[in-house]
């Protein structure tokens, strides 16, 4: 069915398909799940509770990154890939069977948060393990492209999740979707997980653990602090932008731009599909002219364009929002596509790469990305300024541009 290289790519991205399929469900169903698990007379508090559960899982990612990064460096990339996939798939499936607040009271949100935390722990290892594996198995001159396949898997997962929710909402209607239909996408995730286990079962792994006694995390903070800090800043801002665009923006379009749930869902699904197209294009550009150069251009362009894009969304109706979101997707792809291979090669020591990559991307996505939807929701609520997310993203992008100008070790 697959040749060896195709199987490597498919096995590398399948975990990210599951991961971001779940994230798409949380984003699309945030309001419904807020009402079901965090009921309140104040819609803001219900939504904040839903995003809080999202953040709880994401904050576990650095812990999972440390654990599975160590496993990847000390035992092997393949073992880390299989074990993290199994641990990640089960909580997503079980969420589909959770009783709601109306059925069991406070136990319901507690169980939801616990499942999200278990999931976050495994995701922290899955994401980085697949990135390191793909980059190390890539052909010369295509490292950015292979690294970007992880993000393509993420976009495919988000397209599947968002698209399925949109179809169910259209077919079942909002009432049935809110009562029981929301469970269907979580339960169906088990089929993606089974495909992932099948693909990863026979993976080859060229990596041989070294015999050094020093713990990889200790070595990173002892000898590679500067590189770690630089890449952590860059990755953190990229993931803040990412989760603003794909998780928070559908809610913002409804609350601030006046679009319907269906319209914002259509835009979100379209933007995810665009990401699948532009991520590899930007990765190939990075393979030609260099990772740092592409990210620098993206950072400067984002800082300049983010406020006008939100203005167009606010005043341009559905078409304006669609065009502006499309431009944001292209900027994000240029930002994100090179970060994967760049981080893997951020240090020269082969035996510490999994831990280095896992800690940086796990912390960026888990801590910064995890709190982003709740942060942006609170920022707009308390400032009464619908453009406030653009100020934070714009200033952060300028900071990233300055940091990238100081990184000299990569092409």
pLDDT band at 42; cut points 50, 70, 90: low
Distances from the Cα of 380 to the Cα of 252, 264, 383, angstroms? 9, 18, 5
* Residue 387: CB atoms within 10 Å: 15
Distances from the Cα of 85 to the Cα of 125, 158, 194, angstroms? 9, 17, 10
pTM score of the predicted model: 0.77
CATH superfamily to which 4-201+211-404 belongs: MFS general substrate transporter like domains (1.20.1250.20)
Q: Domain residues of the chain, as ranges? A: 4-201+211-404
Q: How far, in Å, CA of 198 to CA of 278, rounded?
A: 29
Q: What is the pLDDT of residues 348-382, one digit of tens each?
A: 766 677 788 888 887 887 788 878 888 898 888 88
Q: What is the pLDDT of residues 161-216, one digit of tens each?
A: 878 888 898 898 888 888 899 899 999 988 888 888 887 776 665 656 566 667 77
């Amino acid at each position: 069915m697959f040749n060896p290289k195709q199987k490597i790519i498919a096995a590398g991205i399948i975990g990210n398909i599951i991961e971001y399929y779940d994230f798409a469900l949380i984003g699309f169903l945030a309001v419904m799940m807020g009402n079901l698990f965090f009921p309140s007379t104040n819609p803001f508090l219900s939504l904040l509770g839903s995003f809080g559960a999202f953040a709880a899982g994401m904050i576990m990612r650095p812990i999972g990154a440390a654990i599975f990064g160590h496993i990847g460096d000390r035992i092997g990339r393949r073992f880390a890939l299989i074990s993290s996939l199994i641990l990640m798939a089960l909580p997503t499936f079980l969420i589909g069977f959770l009783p709601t607040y109306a059925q069991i009271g406070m136990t319901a949100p507690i169980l939801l948060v616990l499942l999200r935390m278990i999931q976050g722990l495994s995701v922290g290892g899955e994401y980085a393990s697949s990135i390191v594996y793909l980059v190390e198995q890539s052909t010369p001159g295509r490292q950015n492209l292979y690294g970007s396949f992880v993000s393509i898997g993420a976009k495919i997962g988000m397209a599947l999740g968002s698209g399925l929710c949109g179809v169910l909402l259209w077919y079942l209607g909002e009432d049935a979707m809110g009562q029981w239909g929301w469970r269907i996408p979580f339960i169906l995730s088990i089929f993606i997980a089974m495909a992932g286990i099948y693909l990863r079962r026979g993976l080859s792994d060229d990596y041989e653990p070294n015999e050094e006694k020093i713990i990889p995390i200790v070595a990173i903070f002892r000898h590679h602090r500067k590189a770690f800090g630089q890449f952590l800043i860059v990755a953190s801002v990229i993931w803040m932008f990412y989760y603003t665009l794909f998780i928070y923006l559908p809610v913002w379009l409804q609350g601030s731009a006046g679009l319907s749930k269906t319209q914002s869902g259509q835009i979100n699904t379209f933007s995810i599909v665009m990401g699948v197209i532009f991520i590899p294009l930007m990765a190939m550009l990075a393979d030609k002219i260099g990772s740092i150069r592409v990210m620098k251009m993206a950072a400067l362009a984002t800082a300049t364009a983010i406020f006008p894009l939100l203005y167009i969304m606010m005043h341009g109706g559905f078409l304006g929002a669609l065009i502006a979101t499309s431009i944001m997707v292209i900027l994000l792809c240029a930002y994100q596509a090179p970060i994967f291979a760049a981080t893997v090669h951020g240090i020269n020591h082969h035996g510490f790469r999994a831990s280095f990559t896992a800690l940086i991307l796990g912390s960026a996505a888990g801590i910064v990305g995890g709190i982003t939807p709740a942060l942006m929701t609170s920022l707009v609520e308390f400032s009464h300024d619908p453009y406030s997310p653009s100020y934070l993203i714009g200033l952060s992008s300028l900071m990233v541009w300055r940091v990238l100008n100081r990184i000299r070790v990569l092409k």
